[in-house]
């Protein structure tokens, strides 16, 4: 019997929810009865996921579509304001938006890439949290930040911008769990391992080669496969559930198929 969650009456705002982990998370919340906010930079992708959310919603609740770039503070403000104007509150914030920005330290554009990695992967999490706290305090809501096992492993050449931005999320999560506890806001983070999403497209590789890479990695994982977006979505739902995880805050939850314990190499 599969575990079913009930988020009826809850409002879940999931950043970067137009594809991959974010899209799967939005659909799971919708399927569990929540009012869902779908957001991303591509209007067509946002609309597609929003429609899928409405289809799986028990009451066919329409998902709120907000197109924007979370590296832009004005877009962040509009996202939050539109959510509150539409639903009147925010119960769950999933900071999922991010990008695999890489550069070797001796690259001429390293500082530019490093700055962009921080702005995209870390600063957006900090800003969204900062702006959502007043609303989450009213609902005694919770925050789930999507980090990466790259924050725990020494990365390969060129990965420092990405790894450091994700490591920052881990510490921010711990700090916020302690600081926001008196407001009864729980804050946790998830560290996915390799998940079969469009992440690998940053390397501009053929689709069949990407599939082979994921297959090779999966063979090294103790569970025998790489992750699927739904694997992480269910972890998000667990942490967001007050009935199931109401005593959990400040946790850095590893969901990596055994990547770290098996010391899997991607070389």
Task: Return the structure tokens found at 46.
Answer: 């946002």
The pair phi, psi for residue 96, each rounded to 5°, is -110, -25
| Residue 261 burial class via C-beta count within 10 angstroms: exposed 0-12, middle 13-18, buried 19 and up | exposed
From the candidates 5, 127, 135, 162, give the one annotated as an active-site residue: 162
Distance separating alpha carbons of residues 145 and 18, to the nearest angstrom: 17
Nearest to 49 by CA among 22, 75, 84: 22
| Long-range Cβ contacts of 178-182 (<8 Å, 24+ apart) | 178/250, 180/133, 180/136, 180/137, 180/143, 181/249
User: How far apart, in Å, are the Cα atoms of 169 and each of 18, 95, 141, 239?
Assistant: 21, 10, 19, 16
Q: Is 162 a catalytic residue?
A: yes
CA triplet 231, 117, 236: central angle to 5 degrees? 20
Measured between alpha carbons, how far apart are the two ends of the chain, in Å? 39
Nearest partner of 93 among 197, 236, 229, 207, judged by Cα: 236
Which residues are annotated as catalytic?
Answer: 162
């Amino acid at each position: 019997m599969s575990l079913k969650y009930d988020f009826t009456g809850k409002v879940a705002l999931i950043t970067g929810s137009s594809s991959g982990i974010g899209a799967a998370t939005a659909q799971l919340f919708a399927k569990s009865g929540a009012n869902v906010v779908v957001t991303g930079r591509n209007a067509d992708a946002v609309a597609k996921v929003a429609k899928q959310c409405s289809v799986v919603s028990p009451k066919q609740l329409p998902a709120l579509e907000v197109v924007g770039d979370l590296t832009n503070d004005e877009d962040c403000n509009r996202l939050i304001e539109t959510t509150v104007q539409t639903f009147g509150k925010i119960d769950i914030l999933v900071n999922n938006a991010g990008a695999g920005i890489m550069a070797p330290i001796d690259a001429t554009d390293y500082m530019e890439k490093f700055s962009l990695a921080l702005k995209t992967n870390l600063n957006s999490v900090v800003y969204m949290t900062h702006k959502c706290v007043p609303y989450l305090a009213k609902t005694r809501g919770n925050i789930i930040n999507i980090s990466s096992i790259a924050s725990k492993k020494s990365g390969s050449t060129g990965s420092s911008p990405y790894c450091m931005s994700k490591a920052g999320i881990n510490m921010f999560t711990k700090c916020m769990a302690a600081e926001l506890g008196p407001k009864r806001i729980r804050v946790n983070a998830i560290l996915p391992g390799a998940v079969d999403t469009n992440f690998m497209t940053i390397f501009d590789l053929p689709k069949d080669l990407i599939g082979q890479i994921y297959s090779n990695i999966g063979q090294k994982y103790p569970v025998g496969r790489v992750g699927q977006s739904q694997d992480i979505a269910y972890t998000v739902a667990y942490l967001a559930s007050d009935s199931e995880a109401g005593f959990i805050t400040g946790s850095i939850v590893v969901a990596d198929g055994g990547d770290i314990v098996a010391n899997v190499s991607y070389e």
